[in-house]
């Protein structure tokens, strides 16, 4: 008799979730969570893992047998009510769950540099087709403008109605048309989390943003709040962090504020900012200042999916200033080191990063470049979560969107922890067996592949999953 391949250790994953929920409820200073809401929470989390989707109808299919409803549509309506109306303090509860997950990680599983963990912050856009107005007031709430993806923008430019404006066009008309090509409707979600070994990512804090929200008018302020909350969470568990960010976050105001607080950072920036450096009178463009510096040697620039590039490296130490009012003496400043990596072959734009780390040797330059390369961990996480429907949600209210995105973050964090936890070795081996049987394993067991194994096993053993998940 042939024994079927299955995740027989699925109960260990349920025990892992139970331990996280227990820790979160113990540390939650909100009022006691209604057991019915907690049960719906568990159902929704299991449905996300099983279906890897944010469409309520698909999620309802996974938990129909666990709900007192006669149809999938009725279950979907119940999930919609839970996301929008249920009295559940989702943000503090989810943050407590993620903190509990962090405490279960062994220190050697985290990515370190100079005795500090790497905290990455990055926003992701969710483009939606809604134009901000709907019949009977049922449009998505507070929907704003986001950057259009490069692929969609390129597709638009091929059509008649999306021609790139010429220099001869009227200034106002050209600006309006350019904005139409560059942006679309949607939401911005700002995430901050830790980099793990093998460039994996553990989310810690996230916050939804829209320029049309009544309170959240500034994305810069939301990013600063997310970063401050993440740093506070790490401090509560005894970890000191180094902040890593891409060019969109490398603005002078944030960099100067972090540097003046003594916070180590590695941020990509544009080379057109003005700096004060030794041997130069007044301020000069950073690009010009770097051009006069000697080369350290060759450094490898890890560009993620685009591969690695051999580059020549040079650096300079300088002071940057930020003025909010425009008055001559009303400014704040900070002194940092700026590293530039210029590709030896090709015409790619050079990489320029600002850092508080010491940078005097070629080894230091390689270390800083390596720290910035770890930022790809969050991009890989976004790619996996996008495949789970992170940007394809169809709920309309702001509260429902935010709660659903928190559920995606928690589902992802649970799989990341399952991939690292020492007590789930048998669970991972069985997941590999399931994937190999279907020839879909790939080179290694990743977060996405482990979630796929859960989904495949759930399709054949729904009753077994329900018994361990809710028993």
Q: CATH number, domain at 351?
A: 3.90.350.10
Q: Which pLDDT band holds residue 134 (cuts at 50, 70, 90)?
A: low
Domain identity same for 405 and 369: no
* pLDDT computed for residue 32 by the predictor: 78
Residue 96 lies in a domain: yes
Residue 286 lies in a domain: yes
338: closest CA among 284, 375, 302, 378?
Answer: 284
- Among residues 340, 374, 408, which one ends one of the domains? 374
Q: What is the pLDDT of residues 384-439, one digit of tens each?
A: 999 999 989 999 999 999 999 999 999 999 999 999 999 999 999 999 999 988 77
Per the structure, the complete domain to which residue 269 belongs is given by: 251-374
CA distances from 262 to 205, 258, 273, 355, 364 (A): 22, 6, 22, 12, 19
Q: What is the pLDDT of residues 174-208, one digit of tens each?
A: 444 444 447 888 999 999 999 999 889 999 999 99
* pLDDT computed for residue 132 by the predictor: 63
Q: What is the pLDDT of residues 45-63, one digit of tens each?
A: 999 999 999 999 999 999 9
Is residue 126 helix, strand or coil? strand
Whether residue 77 is predicted with pLDDT greater than 50 in this model: the reply is yes
Q: Which pLDDT band holds residue 316 (cuts at 50, 70, 90)?
A: very high
CA distances from 245 to 85, 154, 192, 389 (A): 35, 26, 10, 24
Q: Considering its fold, how many domains does the chain have in total?
A: 2
Pairing assessment for the beta strands 308-322 and 332-343 based on DSSP bridges? antiparallel
Domain identity same for 58 and 20: yes
- Among residues 374, 407, 437, which one ends one of the domains? 374
Residue 117 lies in a domain: no
Domain identity same for 70 and 35: yes
Whether residue 153 is predicted with pLDDT greater than 60 in this model: the reply is no
> Which residue has tokens 């021609």?
163
Domain identity same for 300 and 344: yes
Domain identity same for 326 and 275: yes
Domain identity same for 431 and 328: no
Residue 225 lies in a domain: no
State the chain's mean pLDDT as an integer. Answer: 88
Domain identity same for 370 and 400: no
Of all helices (H) and strands (E), which one includes residue 361?
A: none
Q: What is the pLDDT of residues 222-272, one digit of tens each?
A: 999 999 999 999 999 999 999 999 998 889 999 999 999 999 999 999 999
Domain identity same for 367 and 450: no
375: closest CA among 268, 186, 245, 231?
Answer: 245
- Among residues 374, 406, 437, which one ends one of the domains? 374
Residue 148 lies in a domain: no
* pLDDT computed for residue 237 by the predictor: 95
Domain identity same for 365 and 458: no
Residue 305 lies in a domain: yes
- With a CB cutoff of 8 Å and minimum separation 6, the contacts of 282 are 276
- With a CB cutoff of 8 Å and minimum separation 6, the contacts of 457 are 6, 7, 10, 434, 465
Domain identity same for 369 and 264: yes
Asked which of 84-88, 147-151, 373-377, 421-425 is least confident by mean pLDDT, the reply is 147-151
* pLDDT computed for residue 31 by the predictor: 55
* pLDDT computed for residue 171 by the predictor: 39
CB 226 within 8 A of CB 190: yes
Residue 112 lies in a domain: no
Apex CA 70: angle with CA 66 and CA 73, to 5°? 90
Q: Which pLDDT band holds residue 347 (cuts at 50, 70, 90)?
A: confident
Q: What is the DSSP letter of 8?
A: T
Which is more confident, 427 or 27? 427
* pLDDT computed for residue 150 by the predictor: 55
Q: Which pLDDT band holds residue 365 (cuts at 50, 70, 90)?
A: very high
Residue 91 CA to residue 225 CA, distance in Å, equals 14
Whether residue 155 is predicted with pLDDT greater than 90 in this model: the reply is no
Domain identity same for 407 and 364: no
Residue 349 lies in a domain: yes
Domain identity same for 414 and 314: no
* pLDDT computed for residue 253 by the predictor: 92
Asked which of 133-147, 303-317, 412-426, 448-462 is least confident by mean pLDDT, the reply is 133-147
């Amino acid at each position: 008799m042939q024994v079927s391949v299955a995740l027989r250790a699925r109960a260990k994953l349920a025990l892992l979730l139970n331990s996280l929920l227990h820790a979160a409820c113990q540390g939650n200073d909100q009022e006691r969570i209604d057991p019915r809401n907690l049960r719906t929470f568990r159902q929704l989390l299991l449905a996300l893992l099983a279906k890897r989707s944010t469409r309520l109808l698909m999620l309802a299919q996974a938990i129909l047998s666990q709900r007192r409803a006669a149809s999938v549509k009725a279950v979907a309506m119940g999930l919609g009510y839970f996301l929008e109306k249920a009295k559940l303090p989702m943000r503090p509860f989810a943050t407590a769950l993620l903190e509990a997950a962090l405490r279960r990680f062994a220190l050697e599983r985290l990515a370190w540099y100079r005795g500090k963990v790497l905290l990455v912050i990055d926003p992701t856009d969710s483009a939606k087709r809604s134009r901000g107005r709907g019949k009977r007031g049922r449009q998505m709430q507070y929907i704003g403008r986001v950057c259009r993806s490069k692929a969609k923008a390129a597709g638009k430019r091929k059509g008649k109605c999306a021609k790139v404006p010429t220099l001869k066009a009227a200034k106002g008309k050209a600006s309006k048309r350019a904005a139409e090509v560059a942006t679309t409707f949607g939401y911005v979600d700002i995430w901050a989390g830790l980099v793990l070994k093998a460039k994996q990512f553990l989310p810690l804090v996230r916050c939804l943003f829209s320029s049309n929200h009544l309170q959240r008018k500034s994305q810069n302020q939301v990013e600063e709040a997310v970063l401050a909350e993440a740093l506070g969470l790490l401090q509560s568990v005894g970890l000191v962090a180094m902040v890593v960010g891409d060019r969109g976050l490398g603005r002078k105001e944030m960099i100067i504020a972090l540097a003046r607080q003594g916070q180590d950072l590695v941020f990509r920036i544009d080379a057109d900012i003005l700096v004060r450096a030794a041997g130069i009178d007044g301020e000069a463009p950073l690009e010009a200042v770097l051009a006069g510096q000697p080369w350290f040697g060759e450094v490898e620039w890890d560009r993620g999916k685009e591969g690695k590039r051999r580059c020549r490296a040079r650096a300079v130490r300088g002071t940057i200033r930020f003025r909010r009012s425009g008055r001559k003496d009303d400014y704040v400043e900070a002194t940092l080191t700026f590293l530039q990596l210029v590709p030896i072959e090709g015409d790619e734009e050079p990489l320029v990063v600002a850092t508080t780390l010491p940078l005097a040797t070629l080894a230091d330059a390689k270390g800083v470049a390596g720290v910035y390369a770890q930022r790809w961990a969050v991009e890989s996480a976004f790619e996996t979560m996008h495949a789970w429907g992170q940007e394809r949600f169809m709920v309309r209210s702001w509260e429902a969107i935010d709660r659903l995105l928190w559920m995606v973050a928690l589902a992802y964090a649970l799989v990341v922890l399952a991939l690292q936890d020492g007590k789930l070795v048998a669970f991972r081996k069985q997941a590999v067996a399931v994937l190999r049987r279907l020839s879909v394993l790939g080179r290694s067991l990743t977060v996405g592949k482990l979630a796929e194994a859960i989904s495949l096993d759930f399709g054949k053993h729904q009753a077994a999953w329900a018994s361990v998940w809710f028993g």
